[in-house]
Chain A
């Protein structure tokens, strides 16, 4: 730790931290544009200039973003020289800025607006002609409003340091400088949309979020990306039960400040799916909409018919890597208490391409968010075990948690499921799987779930629901409890925090985990505590 002086007051801060971050820890905001904590400092915007004592009694101008804290440093944040410089920089940045805030998508979260309000002079002395370079289409996700750009070069540094793909650079020089790509190499990498997040102004925008409602109208929910086993921490911005934008949430142990484009935009697939809003039951070979009590009656009598007999349970239960730890746990409990200890398995997951960026940001090959957690809850059983059971006739009824919009059935799976006497499925749309079922319960998509998931590293993280499931759809945990109740088993309360307590008491590696401990940064299984694993 080091003791430093800021405006004649003494503070104790971490040694070696840069001045902007150290001041931020103390609640003091040093305005800046080009510095981003996830990138190496560049010192080009000159907004963060402060005065530092360089010889006894003599202060000199320094860039706060490059100053590393040492004991005894003495700063002035509010001297006339510092304040005049901020005023000057704001004026310089705005002389060629179009000031098109009324139709700029960044308005409301724009550093230029914020700092102009705090440090600008309120009127312009510029009477010359502004430069008006045309906007550019940089790649599949990103558009550059060149006029708004302040050339802080966060985006070029991101492509150099983080994605390692270096598509962006500066062309021309002086006031004609522009961010650009090579003609035949668009900004098209697996993390490209992050440049829009880190752009401090409205220059780089995602095409996805262009001309959408103002940012202050949204409800924000912190959750975890369902796109792969990395489990990037995200914030959803929603309005009227619709997601408008996903942005990465900082978690140094998981994703740093970043997320991949696939995860960022995957909400479209879920949101655009033709959702089930009422249960379905099979009547005369056709699936028809039913009320919840009707569907529940059909399910309970079907399951009872399968269970009606001596010996081992003829039911099987299949958990889902798309479902939370709590849902998979309750599913097991339902099996144990109501289905006479059936065989359990984990549904097949989707395999994709793994990719690791220059900075170590990792996209997992496992495209389900909770394979590890679901396996921890369910044990070692696989879908293949269940299919063999169906084949040899020892499993005649199946209770399956679906809910993955990307899931398609193989011919073998279809053939096996057709053999079943009774199939109950939770799903979110009329999938191949649902079409084979006798009863389909309409479940929730990951953005509607409350609970925890365990990512590929073994970090347990919390999901928060952005909104309730639509119409008659319900969270899967609630459906399982309803089934349990009708089968005469008490599966406990509906609060996921309570279920997690049960998990902590029963599942190996989860001992001691609570919602409070997990917090917004997650906690490692196996009692390792917060880990310093590579993030962004």
Chain B
């Protein structure tokens, strides 16, 4: 059985303020910055990060080393640390921002040094106003101690970091939306191609956008060395510690740190103390609302990005939403869809029109006015949106929850339509078994029924 680990969640010395730089320095803080700037070349640092095998913690699980290598050979380059955490079910960035601001700053200094960046931004969700103040203070302390500004640690390297408060929309967390927002525009995501941030990013220059947890992990990698880092977790799948935020119908919701070999079952039943009132599990979303749901039969999976991907789901942000047998999946999907309909930025047609349309249909079904053809219509609308949008928003929170929850809990939706009211079926009848649907790779959330009922309905 996997044991919890304490790397990112290492407890602070008693009675210290997380923003207190003296306490942080006393505990060996900014050692990674000293090590990187004093004893490592830029190439060595990039190789170290590559060797660690770290995958970005923002949700997609893209290799951080590869992202850095894709950075176009033009200067100036910019760094954006993405702290616009707003995926429903996710709260691990908030914990890090509150408890380890200096570890994030350290990671940003190391990243900037490795990539020859002299200006970086930390884009913090606007609703985190206390965190914004704390981070400003932490940056000021770091500046006073000579870790920011001109000629850092007498190495001749200059760096400035600034906090930028988020503009209050989920889409500001999309990397090109974030860049537009930083530039002072509406956060409409940019077209890719040609606007890959590593080639044409902030102010048209090469820009690295990394999640704040990734930044904190960079500090860890430099501290412990890539060799030691990749011993955590599995090298074939996902290396390093991961923060899992459990919420929903568990007895002990909260952030838990494990390596990625931990299974979902262990997280729910061991770490989070099982499900409330002794109820049985109905479904679990493994990484923020966009990550396709897993049924009770599928929870013995390790939590690596690769393992979850094989199930047609994804690692996402590690925000795990647990739902017990009393949950109506129609309600749950309506909730997810309402979020997507509200947060669609409205730039491109399929997402702007299609996602709210699905929300309307789901609300009708939930209110007992579903029609026989509605479920197929929903799947067809999903198909019309999928892959046709400017950014991945249309499909991640827009389409994937609808497609997976609908397909996997098909009987409950059918019952809702047939009985013309909101129905919670007994657990065994409510969901399909893995042999009754199939996932069409490589995209997550691309599920389709292969049951007799589907043929009858189709």
Contact = CB atoms under 8 A, between A and B. Distances in A.
A19 to B, nearest CB: 13
Given A45-B349, A174-B343, A128 B384 contact: no
B191 A43 contact: yes
Nearest to B352: A175
A231 to B, nearest CB: 37
B354 interface: yes
B346 A177 contact: yes
Interface in B9-53: none
Contact of A85 (B360, B364, B384): B384
Contacts of B193: 66
Nearest to A171: B186
Q: Which 5 A-B pairs have the closest CB atoms?
A: A88-B384, A177-B346, A92-B353, A128-B360, A174-B344
Contact of A175 (B169, B353, B383, B388): B353
A84 interface: yes
A464 interface: no
A74 interface: no
A254 B191 CA distance: 32
Residue in B191, B353, B361, B364 with the greatest tally of chain A CB atoms within 10 Å: B353
Contacts of B357: 92, 95, 126, 128
B349 A150 contact: yes
A96 interface: yes
B191 A63 contact: yes
23 contacts: A43-B348, A46-B350, A47-B349, A49-B388, A63-B191, A84-B383, A85-B384, A88-B385, A89-B384, A92-B357, A93-B349, A93-B353, A96-B353, A128-B357, A170-B186, A173-B344, A174-B341, A174-B343, A174-B345, A174-B355, A174-B356, A175-B352, A175-B353
Interface string A55-73: 0000001010010000000
Nearest to A66: B191
Interface in B343-389: 343-350, 352-357, 360-361, 364, 371, 377, 383-385, 387-389
B419 interface: no
A165 B191 CA distance: 25
Nearest to A169: B186
A174 B352 contact: yes
B356 A175 contact: yes
B349 A175 contact: no
Interface string B263-277: 000000000000000
Contact of A128 (B188, B191, B350, B364): B364
Contacts of B361: 128
B342 interface: yes
Given A43-B191, A128-B361, A92 B354 contact: yes
Nearest to B369: A127
A410 interface: no
A93 B341 CA distance: 16
Given A61-B388, A128-B357, A175-B341, A89 B349 contact: yes
A125 interface: yes
A229 B12 CA distance: 76
Interface in A168-188: 169-170, 172-177
Contacts of B344: 173-175
